[in-house]
C-alpha cells in the first residue's frame, strides 16, 4: 500500500475503531478460521466395547463406541444391572478425560522449586529405578516412614496396593476421600456385623425418609435416579412419598414431597429425636425389635433421656411438631426406609437405628448387609472405636492419620495413587507434604498434589486400562464389572497395576516375592477366580470365543472363562434381589445391636457459638464433582450450577435473602467467606433454599492445577474448614464463617 | 455429458424424456392420492413405496415426553447431548459473556419463601414446535420444519442473522459467536456423524437427526419399517430415571401416544400457539 494521506487516514480509522472496543472484544476480533478441524472424522467399522465407568466407584457398565481405534461415543451398558443402559453426567463426560489435552504423556521429574510446575521428561527406566531405589533404602531403614495415599480404588488394584504396602512393611496406607460423605460404613460393621457395608433397597420401599442428597450420590447416581422413577411412577395406585431432611434445598429436597431443613452436621441428633418419638409413642416394630435385636433397653433409655425433640430443637433447628409428624409418617407405611450417606458415625448409627425401629432391616425394601463374597466370616470384632467416627483419611490397618501439626517428620517418602490430598483435605496434608523429602505421584493428570511431587508417573486413563470393579445393586445383587481397555494407550503411560508389579520386582527381595504375578491381568484373574469356582450367577451377555467351535468341546478353564468374562463386560448374581437376607447378623450376639454405648460416646456437641463467626458453613458436593473430581472436564464444569441458574465456571455461595439483606449483599456480588482458618472469594447466590444463617458452598472447584479447564477456576471451600483440635480432622459440617462483600 | 459436469445442462433428448416421465409419475401419484379422498398427502399421509400393497400409512411425527415426576435433574441428558452433538466446550470467558451453547438446558424455578421453598427443575431441549416461530423469520430457509416434524437447521445455508435466535420463545437456539475451540486431542473423540459448526451460524437441538438417518438406513438394509426404539435421541438414551420417552406421535399404538393422553400433560408456553412436540408431564 502506498503511503498516501488518504491511506493513512483509512488506517487510522481502523486502528482507532479497534482501540475503542473493550479488551475482551479486541482479543476476540475474528481471526483466522480455527475450526478447521485438523483431524478428519473417524471412519471405518464401528464397535461397542463393554467397560466400566470409573469416574466414581459405583461401577456402572458402559459401552464405548470405537471407530478406527478412536473412542467416539459412549452409552450405558444395557446388560449391566446397575446402569441398565443409562448414564450419569460424569459417565457421559468420560471421553473428555481420555482425550484431555493436558494429560501427562511421559514420566516427569521436577526441575524447578516444589509446586512451581517445571518438569523435564525422564525415561520410564530411569524413573522406575529412581523410585525403586528410594523405596528399597527406606524399607531397609524404616519402612513406616513411607506413606501411601490412594484414592478410591475398587477391585484388584486396591488389594494390590494393600499387598504392596504390607510387603514394604508400612502401615501408613491411607484412602483419601472427599471426607464428608465417603467415610467407611462403620455403623453397618458395628450394628449389623457387616464389614462390607449395607445396601438400601430403595425401589421396593413404600416410604423414604432421607437425611442426605441421595439423588446425587447414592451409591450409583444412575441407579438412584432409576429408583426414584420407580418410586414415583411404578406403583399403579399411588406414588411413594419421599421426605428429605437436609441442611439446604438439595436436589433431593427439591424432588421430595417435603423438605425438612436442619442445621448442617446435626442429622444424627435429628434421627435420634425421631427415634425418641417412635419409642415414646410406641410406634416401633415390636416383633422385630424383640426377636432380632440386642441392646434395645439401653438404647431406649439413652434416647428417651437425651433426645427429646424439645431438647434437640435448638441443636437441629427442627421444631418439635415437625419431628413428631415425621415420626408418625415414618411408622405409618411399611417398608419405610431411612437413609443417609456415609457421613459421621453418629449419623450412620442413628439412621440405621431408625430402620431397626421400623423393623426394616434384612428385608426386601429395607436395609441389608451386602452379601459377602466369602461364604463364612467370623463375627466382626468391636468396631466403632475410631475417634469421632470420622477419619477423613481411612487407615487401612487402624493406623491413625498423622496430625498435621506433628512436630516430627512423619514421612521420608510419600507415594500417591489417584489421590489428591492437597485438594480434598488441604489443611491436613499441606504441612505433611511440605515436610516430606520425596513425593512420587501416579496419576494421569498433574493435579494439585502431583504438581507438588518430585516424580510423576503417568497412569493410563480408565478407558485404556483393564480393571475389575465389584459392586452391588440397591437390591443386594452382586456384580463384578470388567473394565476393558476400549482404545490403545494414547501416550507413553503405564497402567498402575503393572507399574506396581514392576516396582516390586525392581525392589527385589521379599517385596518381589510377595508380588510374584507376571502381569496385572493375572492379578485380576485371581481376584475373579472365586466367581469362576462358585458357579453362581451368570455373565452379563452371551459370548462365544473365536477359538471355540462346536467341534472342540473342552473343559472350561479359568483362562478361557476370563476371556469370556471380559468380552461379556462382567458377571452378576442377582439371586438376592428382592429377597430377605438370611436370618441372623454377624455380630457377637448374632442379632442387630443398638450399641447405645457407642452412640453415647458420640453424642453431638454443637460447635461453640462464636460471635465473630456468626454463620454456619455447609459444604456440599454436586454430582458432577462427586469425590472432588470432575472440574477438569469442560462439559461437567458447564452444568455444575445449572440447577440454580448459576453461571458455570465459578464457585458460588448460596445465601438466604434475609441473611444477605442484613449483610448488605445482593445477588451476584463477590463476597469473601472467612473462617478462623482462611478465606475464599466466591459469588453470592441469593437462594430461598438456603437456611438463614447458613452459607452453602459447592465443593469441587478451586484447583491450583489439574488441566486447563480446572486450574484457577473457582475457589475451594475445603481450604477454610476448621479442624478438630485433637485429631486434626477437618470439620466438614461444623465450621463457622462470616461473610462480607468483597471488592470487584 | 453428465449432469455433474454442468449443473444446468440444456435438456437434451433423453434427459427431457426422463424429466417428463418423472413429472407425469408424480402428477399421477398425486392424482391417485386426491382420488382417495380427504386423507391426502397434504394432511400428513403418504404412500410408502416399500410398504406392501402400497397402503397409506401416516407420516411419522416425532415427539418427546419428559416426565418431571421421574426426572431427578441429574444432568446426564445435558452431557450426553453435548457429547453426541459435538457441542462447543464452553469456557469461563464465554460463560461470563453469556454465550455458552447448550442444546439441552436445565431450567429451574424457585418458588416460595424459606422454609416453604419449592423448586421445579426441567430439562429444556428445542421444543420442536409444530408451528415454529423461528422458521418463519429465517430469510434464507436455513431453518425449516421437515416432513417428519423435526425443526432442523442447515448450517451451510445459515447467514448468521440471528432472527431465529430472537424469535424462539424458549431460548433454545444458539449462535456461534466464535469458532468452537476443540483442542486437537479432543477432536479425536468427536462424534463423526455430526458436523462441527463454524463461527457465524446458528445451531440447535434437532432430535439427534443423524440417528434417525442411521436408523432409516439400517431399516432399509434389513428391508423393514422403522420399529419403536430404532431411533432414540442421546438424551433419552442416557436418562437414568427413564424420564424421557421418544416416539411417533402419529402412531396411536406407541407408548408416546399413550403417554400423551395423560392428565398430567402440559406444554411450555402453550398459549403462544407454537404447538411444541416436546411434551411434559407434571409432578404430582
The answer on pLDDT for B9 being more than 90 is no
Q: Is A418 on the interface with B (CB under 8 A)?
A: no
> What is the average pLDDT across B175-198?
93
pLDDT of residue A240: 95
Q: Are A475 and A572 in contact (CB under 8 A)?
A: no
Q: Dihedral sign, CA of A315, A318, A319, A324?
A: negative
**Residue B212 is placed in which grid cell?**
434417525
* Cα separations in angstroms, A496 against A120, A525, A726: 21, 16, 36
- Residue bearing cell 515436610: A435
Hey, is the C-beta of B95 within 8 angstroms of any chain A C-beta? yes
The answer for B 20-39 residues in CB contact with A (under 8 A) is: none
| A residues 99..128 contacting B (CB < 8 A) | 99-101, 103
Dmax over Cα atoms in chain A, in whole Å? Answer: 103
Instruction: Give how far the C-alpha of residue A140 lies from the chain's centroid of Cα atoms, to the nearest Å.
Output: 35
Mutation site for A-interface testing, chosen from B89, B171, B188 by largest number of A Cβ within 10 Å: B188
Handedness of CA B1, B5, B10, B11 (dihedral sign): positive
* Position B98 pLDDT exceeds 90: no
Residues of chain A with pLDDT under 70: 1-38, 179-180, 372-409, 547-554, 604-607, 744
Phi, psi of A136, rounded to the nearest 5 degrees: -60, -50
The H or E element spanning position A433 is: helix A426-435
Contact predicate A107/A491, CB 8 Å = no
> Contact at 8 Å (CB) between A176 and A151?
yes
Q: Is A415 on the interface with B (CB under 8 A)?
A: no
Handedness of CA A302, A306, A308, A312 (dihedral sign): negative
Res A489: pLDDT: 96
pTM above 0.90, yes or no: no
The confidence score (pLDDT) of residue A211 equals 95
Contact B74 A215 (CB under 8 A): yes
Mean pLDDT score of chain B: 84
Q: What's the rounded Cα separation, in Å, for the pair A315 and A293?
A: 29
- Do the chains contact at B107 and A645, CB–CB below 8 Å? yes
H/E element, A327: helix A320-332
Res A386: pLDDT: 36
A599, A346 contact by CB (below 8 A): yes
The pLDDT of residue A731 is 84
Give the per-residue pLDDT at B44: 47
- The beta strands (E) that lie in A79-214 are given as 108-110, 119-121, 146-150, 173-176, 198-200, 207-210
Q: What is the pLDDT of residue A175?
A: 85
| Predicted pLDDT at A607 | 64
State the smallest CA–CA distance between residue B171 and chain A in angstroms.
Answer: 14
Does B78 contact A at CB distance below 8 Å? yes
Q: What is the rounded distance in angstroms from the CA atom of residue A521 to the CA atom of residue A525?
A: 6
Give the mean model confidence (pLDDT) for residues B171-189. Answer: 93
Residue A739 phi, psi (nearest 5): -125, 135
| Helices assigned H by DSSP within B36-88 | 76-84
- Using a 10 angstrom Cβ sphere, with 0-12 exposed, 13-18 middle and 19 or more buried, the burial of residue A631 is buried
Angle at A286 between CA A280 and CA A289, to 5 degrees: 100
Q: Which of residues 261-320 of A touch B (CB under 8 A)?
A: 261
Contact list in A for residue B183 (CB cut-off 8 A) is 101
- Which CA distances in Å does A260 have to A325, B114, B260? 11, 11, 34
Mean pLDDT, residues B225-241: 94
The alpha carbon of residue A529 is apart from the nearest alpha carbon of chain B, in Å, by 32
- CB-nearest to B192 from A41, A86, A636 is A41
- Closest Cα partner for A264 from A726, A710, A699? A699
Within 10 Å of residue B259's Cβ, how many Cβ atoms? 17
C-alpha cell at B53: 400393497
Amino acid at each position: 500500500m502506498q503511503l498516501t494521506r488518504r491511506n493513512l487516514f483509512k488506517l487510522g480509522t481502523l486502528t482507532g475503531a479497534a482501540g475503542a472496543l473493550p479488551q475482551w472484544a479486541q482479543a476476540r476480533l475474528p481471526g483466522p478460521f480455527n475450526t478447521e478441524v485438523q483431524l478428519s472424522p473417524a471412519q471405518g467399522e464401528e464397535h461397542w466395547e463393554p467397560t466400566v465407568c470409573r469416574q466414581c466407584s459405583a461401577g456402572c457398565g458402559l459401552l464405548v463406541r470405537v471407530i478406527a481405534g478412536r473412542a467416539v461415543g459412549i452409552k450405558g451398558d444395557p446388560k449391566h444391572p446397575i446402569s441398565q443402559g443409562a448414564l450419569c453426567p460424569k459417565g457421559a463426560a468420560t471421553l473428555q478425560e481420555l482425550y484431555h489435552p493436558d494429560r501427562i504423556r511421559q514420566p516427569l521429574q521436577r526441575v524447578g522449586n516444589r509446586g512451581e510446575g517445571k518438569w523435564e521428561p525422564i525415561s520410564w527406566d530411569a524413573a522406575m529405578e529412581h523410585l525403586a531405589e528410594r523405596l528399597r533404602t527406606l524399607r531397609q531403614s524404616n519402612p513406616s516412614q513411607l506413606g501411601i495415599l490412594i484414592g478410591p480404588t475398587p477391585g484388584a488394584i486396591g488389594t494390590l496396593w494393600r499387598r504392596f504396602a504390607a510387603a514394604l512393611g508400612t502401615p501408613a496406607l491411607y484412602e483419601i476421600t472427599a471426607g464428608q460423605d465417603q467415610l467407611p460404613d462403620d455403623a453397618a460393621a458395628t450394628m449389623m456385623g457387616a464389614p462390607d457395608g449395607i445396601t438400601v433397597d430403595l425401589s421396593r420401599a413404600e416410604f423414604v425418609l432421607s437425611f442426605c442428597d441421595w439423588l446425587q450420590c447414592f451409591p450409583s447416581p444412575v441407579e438412584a435416579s432409576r429408583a426414584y422413577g420407580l418410586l414415583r411412577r411404578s406403583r399403579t395406585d399411588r406414588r411413594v412419598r419421599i421426605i428429605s431432611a437436609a441442611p439446604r434445598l438439595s436436589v433431593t429436597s427439591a424432588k421430595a414431597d417435603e423438605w425438612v431443613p436442619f442445621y448442617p452436621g446435626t442429622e444424627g441428633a435429628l434421627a435420634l429425636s425421631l427415634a425418641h418419638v417412635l419409642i415414646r409413642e410406641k410406634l416401633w416394630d415390636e416383633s422385630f425389635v424383640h426377636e432380632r435385636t440386642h441392646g434395645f433397653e439401653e438404647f431406649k433409655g439413652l434416647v428417651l433421656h437425651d433426645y427429646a425433640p424439645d431438647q434437640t430443637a435448638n441443636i437441629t433447628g427442627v421444631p418439635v411438631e415437625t419431628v413428631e409428624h415425621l415420626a408418625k409418617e415414618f411408622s405409618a407405611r411399611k417398608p419405610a426406609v431411612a437413609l443417609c450417606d456415609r457421613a459421621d458415625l453418629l449419623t450412620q448409627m442413628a439412621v440405621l437405628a431408625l430402620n431397626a425401629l421400623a423393623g426394616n432391616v434384612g428385608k426386601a425394601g429395607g436395609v441389608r448387609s451386602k452379601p459377602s463374597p466369602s461364604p463364612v466370616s467370623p463375627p466382626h470384632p468391636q468396631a466403632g472405636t475410631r475417634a469421632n467416627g470420622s477419619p477423613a483419611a481411612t487407615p487401612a490397618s487402624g493406623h491413625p492419620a498423622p496430625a498435621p501439626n506433628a512436630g516430627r517428620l512423619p514421612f521420608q517418602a510419600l507415594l500417591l495413587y489417584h489421590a489428591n490430598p492437597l485438594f480434598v483435605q488441604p489443611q491436613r496434608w499441606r504441612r505433611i507434604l511440605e515436610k516430606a523429602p520425596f513425593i512420587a505421584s501416579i496419576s494421569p493428570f498433574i493435579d494439585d498434589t502431583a504438581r507438588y511431587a518430585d516424580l510423576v508417573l503417568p497412569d493410563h486413563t480408565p478407558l485404556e486400562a483393564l480393571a475389575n470393579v465389584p459392586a452391588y445393586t440397591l437390591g443386594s445383587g452382586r456384580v463384578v464389572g470388567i473394565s476393558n481397555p476400549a482404545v490403545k494407550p494414547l501416550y507413553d503411560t503405564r497402567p498402575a497395576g503393572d507399574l506396581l508389579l514392576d516396582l516390586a520386582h525392581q525392589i527385589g527381595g521379599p517385596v518381589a516375592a510377595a508380588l510374584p504375578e507376571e502381569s496385572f491381568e493375572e492379578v485380576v484373574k485371581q481376584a475373579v477366580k472365586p466367581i469362576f469356582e462358585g458357579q453362581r450367577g451368570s455373565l452379563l451377555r452371551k459370548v462365544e470365543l473365536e477359538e471355540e467351535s462346536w467341534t472342540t468341546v473342552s473343559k472350561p478353564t479359568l483362562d478361557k472363562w476370563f476371556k469370556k468374562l471380559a468380552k461379556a463386560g462382567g458377571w452378576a448374581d442377582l439371586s438376592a434381589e428382592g429377597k430377605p437376607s438370611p436370618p441372623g447378623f454377624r455380630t457377637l450376639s448374632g442379632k442387630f445391636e443398638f450399641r447405645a454405648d457407642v452412640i453415647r460416646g458420640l453424642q453431638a456437641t454443637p460447635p461453640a457459638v462464636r460471635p465473630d463467626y456468626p454463620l454456619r458453613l455447609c459444604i456440599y458436593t454436586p454430582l458432577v464433582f462427586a469425590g472432588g473430581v470432575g472440574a477438569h472436564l469442560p462439559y461437567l464444569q458447564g452444568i455444575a450450577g445449572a440447577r440454580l441458574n448459576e453461571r458455570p465456571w465459578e464457585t458460588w455461595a448460596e445465601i438466604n435473602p434475609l441473611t444477605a439483606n442484613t449483610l448488605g449483599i445482593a445477588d451476584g456480588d463477590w463476597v469473601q467467606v472467612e473462617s478462623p482458618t482462611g478465606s475464599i472469594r466466591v459469588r453470592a447466590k441469593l437462594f430461598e433454599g438456603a437456611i438463614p444463617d447458613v452459607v452453602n458452598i459447592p465443593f469441587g472447584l478451586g484447583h491450583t492445577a489439574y488441566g486447563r479447564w480446572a486450574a484457577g477456576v473457582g475457589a475451594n471451600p475445603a481450604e477454610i474448614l476448621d479442624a478438630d483440635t485433637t485429631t486434626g480432622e477437618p470439620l466438614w459440617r461444623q465450621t463457622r464463617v462470616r461473610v462480607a462483600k468483597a471488592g470487584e | 455429458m453428465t449432469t455433474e459436469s454442468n449443473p444446468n445442462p440444456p435438456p437434451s433428448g433423453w434427459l427431457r424424456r426422463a424429466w417428463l416421465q418423472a413429472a407425469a409419475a408424480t402428477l399421477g401419484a398425486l392424482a391417485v392420492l386426491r382420488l382417495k379422498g380427504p386423507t391426502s398427502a397434504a394432511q400428513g399421509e403418504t404412500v410408502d413405496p416399500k410398504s406392501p400393497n402400497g397402503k397409506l400409512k401416516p407420516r411419522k411425527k416425532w415427539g418427546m415426553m419428559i416426565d418431571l415426576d421421574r426426572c431427578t435433574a441429574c444432568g446426564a441428558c445435558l452431557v450426553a447431548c453435548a457429547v453426541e452433538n459435538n457441542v462447543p466446550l464452553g469456557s469461563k470467558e464465554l460463560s461470563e459473556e453469556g454465550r455458552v451453547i447448550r442444546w439441552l438446558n436445565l431450567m429451574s424455578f424457585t418458588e416460595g419463601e424459606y422454609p416453604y421453598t419449592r423448586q421445579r427443575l426441567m430439562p429444556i431441549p428445542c421444543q420442536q414446535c409444530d408451528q415454529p416461530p423461528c422458521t418463519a423469520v429465517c430469510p434464507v430457509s436455513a431453518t425449516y420444519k421437515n416432513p417428519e416434524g423435526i425443526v432442523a437447521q442447515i448450517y451451510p445455508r445459515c447467514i448468521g442473522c440471528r432472527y431465529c435466535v430472537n424469535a424462539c420463545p424458549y431460548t433454545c437456539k444458539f449462535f456461534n459467536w466464535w469458532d468452537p475451540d476443540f483442542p486437537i486431542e479432543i477432536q479425536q473423540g468427536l462424534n463423526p456423524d455430526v458436523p462441527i459448526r463454524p463461527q457465524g451460524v446458528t445451531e440447535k437441538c434437532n432430535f439427534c437427526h443423524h440417528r434417525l438417518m442411521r436408523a432409516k438406513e439400517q431399516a432399509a438394509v434389513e428391508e423393514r419399517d422403522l420399529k419403536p426404539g430404532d431411533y432414540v435421541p442421546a438424551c433419552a438414551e442416557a436418562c437414568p430415571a427413564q424420564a424421557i420417552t421418544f416416539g411417533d406421535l402419529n402412531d396411536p399404538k406407541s407408548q408416546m401416544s399413550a403417554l400423551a393422553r395423560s392428565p398430567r400433560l402440559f406444554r411450555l408456553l402453550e398459549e403462544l400457539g407454537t404447538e411444541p412436540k416436546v411434551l411434559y408431564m407434571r409432578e404430582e
